[in-house]
A and B are shown apart, each in its own frame.
Chain A
Amino acid sequence: MRLGIVRGHVTLTPSVPELMGLTLVVLEPITTANLLANNGLGGGKSLIAVDALGAAKGQTVGFTEGREAANPFWPALVPVDAYCTLIVDTIKAGKP
């Protein structure tokens, strides 16, 4: 799971039936340097993920990538390779 900041949402018309009704968010992954600096910036290459948790713009989420991202839809087969697994409350990183 990587960390990403929600930068916006995407809607599709039309879309493949498997994606209908899903919420898609634009994520900006957080780099190690930005995480340790705790500056609220992302810095990674943007990507789109499915969000079932209702993450709002500006919130930080943990997102799963790869085949496991489609597991929540099991046994349906969906073309999903990124899925918001958790919404971050707090992160403690760096020297305690």
Chain B
Amino acid sequence: MFLARIDGTVVATTKHATLSGCRFLIALRLEADGSTAAEPLVVIDWLGAAFGSTVLVSTDGDIARERYGNTTPARMVVAGIVDQVQLEQESSRRTA
């Protein structure tokens, strides 16, 4: 699982039959320093994540398999919308 920022939407008429009606979003994976990963990801959203919001993305396809059946290629799903992230202070992370 990782944190990502929602940065757009994808419209796709032609897709795997199990995924009709799905909402696809563009997610940029976040690093600890707030920078984003080099490649964007397409994630499935059931929770209604808004543009710019930070979400928790799960890369385990089992939850999608439960919903769309055993033959679905769906994998990355928005598992939650983040309220707050608290990172350890740089000073307390050091362990002499």
Report which A residues bind B (CB closer than 8 A).
1-3, 29-33, 35-36, 44, 52-54, 62, 64-69, 71-75, 83, 85-94, 96
Contact of B19 among A31, A36, A86 (CB under 8 A): A86
Residue-wise, chain B 8-44 has the 8 Å CB interface mask toward A (1 for contact) of 1111111110010000101010000000111111110
On chain B, which size bracket covers the interface? 20 to 34
Q: What are the residues of chain B within 8 A of A35 when measuring CB–CB?
A: 26, 40
Q: What are some 20 contacts across the A-B interface (CB < 8 A)?
A: A1-B42, A2-B40, A2-B42, A3-B42, A32-B36, A62-B10, A62-B24, A62-B42, A64-B74, A68-B74, A71-B61, A71-B72, A74-B71, A85-B16, A89-B13, A90-B11, A91-B9, A91-B10, A92-B8, A94-B8
Report which B residues bind A (CB closer than 8 A).
7-16, 19, 24, 26, 28, 36-43, 51, 59, 61, 64-65, 70-76
Q: What are the residues of chain B within 8 A of A74 when measuring CB–CB?
A: 70-71
CB distance from B51 to the nearest CB of A (A): 6
